[in-house]
């Protein structure tokens, strides 16, 4: 399991409030960018695994099981799109 800590302390610290410490800020920004890069790599690996799995369904599932799996995936994405639409249309507090 990969655990990555992206705390607000990495990006913002008390030392930045006054006077600004540019070296400290740049160091913390570099750490934050490295952590984001690690997360991006992890997400890319997971997406690649998902892609490979879908393309190899026929090797380890029967035709009926693969069809049911693809229908379940389609239903999942349909619900995810509906949820996303509801989220975007929610009333916003200002």
Res. 93 pLDDT band, cuts 50 70 90: confident
- Residue 4 within any structural domain of the chain: no
Structure confidence at residue 82 (pLDDT): 95
What is the residue range of 47's domain? 43-89
Tens of pLDDT along 23-72?
Answer: 888 889 999 999 999 999 999 999 999 899 888 888 989 989 989 988 99
Picking from 1, 15, 11, the residue whose alpha carbon sits closest to that of residue 36 is 11
Overall number of domains in the chain: 1
- Residue 77 within any structural domain of the chain: yes
- Residue 9 within any structural domain of the chain: no
Q: Is the pLDDT of residue 84 over 70?
A: yes
- Residue 8 within any structural domain of the chain: no
Q: pTM higher than 0.75, yes or no?
A: no
- Residue 19 within any structural domain of the chain: no
**Rounded Cα–Cα distance for residues 60 and 73 (Å):** 17
């Amino acid at each position: 399991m990969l655990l990555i800590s992206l705390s607000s302390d990495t990006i913002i610290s008390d030392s930045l409030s006054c006077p600004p410490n540019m070296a400290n800020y740049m160091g913390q920004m570099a750490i934050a960018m490295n952590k984001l890069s690690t997360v991006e790599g992890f997400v890319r690996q997971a997406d690649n695994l998902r892609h490979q799995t879908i393309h190899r369904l026929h090797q380890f599932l029967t035709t009926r099981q693969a069809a049911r799996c693809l229908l379940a995936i389609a239903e999942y994405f349909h619900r995810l799109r509906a949820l996303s639409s509801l989220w975007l249309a929610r009333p916003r507090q200002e």
